[in-house]
Structure 1
Amino acid sequence: MQATLRLPWKWLLCFLAAPWPSQPEKLFHSRDHSDLEESVLRQAKPVTDLHSAQLFLSKYGWTEGSRKLLAAGLSGNPGLREAIAKFQSFNRLPVTGQLDKATLAAMNQPRCGMPDHQLPGATVPRIMPRGGSLDPSPREHPKWFSALLGRQRPKRSPPRAFSRRLLRWRLVGEGYSSQLSIEEQRFVFRLAFRMWSEVTPLVFKEDQLSPPALVDIKLGFGTGQHLGCSRPFDGSGQELAHARHFGDIHFDDDEHFTSPSSDSGISLLKVAVHEIGHVLGLPHLDQTGSIMQPGYTHPETEFELGWEDRRAIQALYGSCEGPFDTAFDWIRKEKTHYGELVVSFSTYFFRSGWYWLYENRHNRTRYGDPILTPVGWHGIPSHDLDAYIHVWMWGRDERYFFQGNHYWRYDSDNDQAYEEDEQGIRYPRLISEGFPGVPSPLDTAFYDRRTGFIYFFQKSSVYAFDVSRNQVADSYPKRMTDVFPAVMAQDHPVRDLDSAYFSYAHNAIFLLKGNSYWRVVNARDRQHDPSLAFNGLLPRQSISQKWFDICDVHPSTLTMN
């Protein structure tokens, strides 16, 4: 008889707590292992008649799920007619309440497997129209969101809303697709998570090493009975994917998923972005162009999240805020085919070694930003810029970046910083040499074309530098509160600005600090109200209400552009 090996209980606890080797985790499978068997490509059964339409409407939340009235037919079932009418309205079809060809076509469209009306009585996060302002009143949340806060216990598992900003995700080892390489799959998912990160304070990190319990969102492919899921896939042609409310996303591998560069098949990127929206807490939306529409349409070009999607997700997680290292408008002078000189501008925001181009026409950042500073700006410091100024006057057109005790002149024609300019001046150069009387390091600066002065800010002081005389103007430095007086008492940044710049889009000067900005009174303001002080600061406003979606992303996705 073998002796029993007895281990101290403390040793056993240490053994259990020790990190295990990093291997693809085993997911729970069907007891008979049927979801591990290789399957032949199956086709989904189409919706062709009243019976299959009833099953469809029940599956996607349009009816209560009872099949008792099927025998009565459509004429004897007002509830079914009403469900068809609501489905038609949701899909922008003629509302007839009849199962016509257009309705059947919509029901057979490839789509998400999540219900369109998941929780009766739930409300959709309020959506802002383009150019609108957010309502300052407290946000209204759907009932499932209140349940997450502990005010009531839901009858069903609600869509998951996360309280942390850093979320970890993983493509599970037993859920690889048979159609794309593993690297292609991971690339698509990194890009899909990045698209949500570009418009929210959320940051997504791929995590292949942590224990499964520490991974927030798990993704995988399967067919039929799959990955231990209680909801089997139907085969090629209808349900593309579904999201489980505790962080799992499953894709039907019977579908022909393709990479973003393909013009055929089902775009895995678009489907993944949609399903991630569900895991983050978004329901289906019926707005045209929304990624959260339940039906799939192939993207004609590179798609991006629509205004409705951005406002809906920000109603749950908030908007992206400051601070910024610097912000400015970059002026470009170009000649038309007729030789006419045309001036255009682009707005840029810099923070922590990244930069964003802001599309003023669309009131949002450029798709795919942020980008690492050295990628787009050659020869200037890669991090922690203090200021940018553009001296633009008769006979002079010079651009400078500032950091610490030095400054760099930028050659816009060759898109790089000068090592030596046409006057033989070498860069970087000490600020005290090029701008005598100006201290360093600076907080920020901007050039005011109205006066021909560069305003340098350091702590609570302002130095007005007269460009034509190459010296600090008489009676300067002054306190910031004297040069830029508050229009409303006690509403002033006082000191330590992050950035200041003249915006050609708004024809105004802005001072930025933290999550707030102050606009400087301009000539138009004084025409309407002559009592306003010259260079007065109007009351503070939130940066997120003026400039949308200037959001950080995880560093692992910065090289995807």
Structure 2
Amino acid sequence: MFGTVYELIWMTVTVSLFISTGHPSPTPMPDQYARGLDWLSRYGYLPPPDPRTSKLQTKDGVEQAIREMQRFGGLEETGRLDKDTLNLMQTPRCSLPDIVGSEDMLKRKRRRKRYALSGLRWDRTDLTWSVHSYPNPSRSTSVFRPDTVEAILTLAFKAWSDVAPLSFRQLSGSDREDMGPGGDIRVSFTRSLHDDGYPFDGRGGTLAHAFFPGRDDVAGDTHFDDDEYWSYGGDSSSTDLFTVAVHEFGHALGLSHSSSDPSIMRPYYQGAVKDISSYNLPLDDRMAIQELYGRKESKPTVHPGGSGSTPSHPRLPSPPPPRPTKHSDRSFQSRCEGGFDAVANIRGEVFFFKGPHFWRMQRTGNLVSLNPALIRNFWMGLPPETNKIDAVYERKSDGIIIFFIGAQYWVFKDNVARPGYPRPLAEWGMRTKDGEKVERVEAAFVWAHNGKTYLFSMGEFWKFDEGRKEEGRKPEGGYPKDAALWRGVPTDPDDIISWGEGDAYFFKDNLYWVMQREICHTSVIVYRGRETRHTSVIVHRERETRHTSVIVDRGRETHHTYVIVHRGRERHVTLL
């Protein structure tokens, strides 16, 4: 009867919460627009934000930046964040900017070459390289050994030395001591924050980056994201090391990103080539490297290791078999299995947390990426070893995001934790009916019906009126209450969100329940200081009508709720 959580959510969002999905609006959602500006700034199309001045971008400036990005990516120049543009922004790519320089790059109208040079080059053509770390064995096949990695990198260097007077010699352990810390180009497979100012973001997204030639300590350094599934030979379920390495070594030699198609220096991942041992650079890339170093007049000499020359074509084992559609790595948990640890509506998107990963779903029902992101790489300030989120919600009054993990909680502004956190959960003042301190929050959400915050734990719930208060969070009087008062939903939900027009979604295992937002009609009668409110609440899905009388006498309220269900008649008193 029920499908997976993702399938059900997608169906509900697209069918129930929107009148029409056949003609998407050309105007992006506010969160899409904000992410688009961040993307344009990150990759050089807009100047970086200045926290000292909070400089705002003009509409014309943003449109010009979008047009430049569309021109660079081979799209129609609309100046709008349309569907094709947003899709290209979500494509895995190199993390170096496309535009290297200042704002005048966006203003130039003269014709320029399709390939681009960084303005930097090595002052010699005999270069050395070394590998400082290799891909994690748990994320590669048995044939993807260190010697295979070195052979692939050797062939990636060969692509450049075939057309320019360059030679590349791999340093052995003894050579490194004589040639300094690893030679000219130092290769490593790393993840997340790795002390160069350009953190990786987990699987998908940015794949690698390299630094241009120069006299800095990092000049020529080439880093690959070790959270990727690296392979070679056309496995579409993983990332091809050879094509990414050729691209990054182009940066290490002085080339910027190219807008040419085809070009290995395009910033977006282009997939595997057929035969890496006979690969030839596209024309634009040959012209670019030859403008820096000249033409190749003789046969290339490649030195995969030690002194002396070795054959130009390193021996490679047969390509590994393609990975199954469902990754065998247990840490890669399928979004379709349900059983999420926490679900939250943040900035208009739904975040699904499971283990150390999370997925993001837009209002359209589309996932930002089919692959999950690592919690530790996005939410800066949570413990690096975080493997489970108990509950999380966004406070609507000021956009603060609050995470609960065990007996602690964190307060976030955007995706960065505020100083002084974590703090003990005891600050929230929650005690069970038996008087015990609450040690864990199981679910949290802001109910659109009244704007109040609700926390659930062990079959009980508490209500908070946070407003803008940062300190001294205390539940309202009369709590906790039995979670069974939320009729027809689990008393121990994994999490709850308000979504769409204010409906409340309760998640448990791989199922969810919807409590639709109520339509209320209230009449007030005041007689000699006594006020009586008669409220009719109609819930369409459950076909339930509630008639509520609220009597206010000298500041004290008494709530009497009569519930009439079409399949029978029921009367009870409730306070939510």
Q: TM-score, normalised by structure 1?
A: 0.42
Q: TM-score, normalised by structure 2?
A: 0.41
Higher relative contact order (CA 8 A, sep 6+): 1
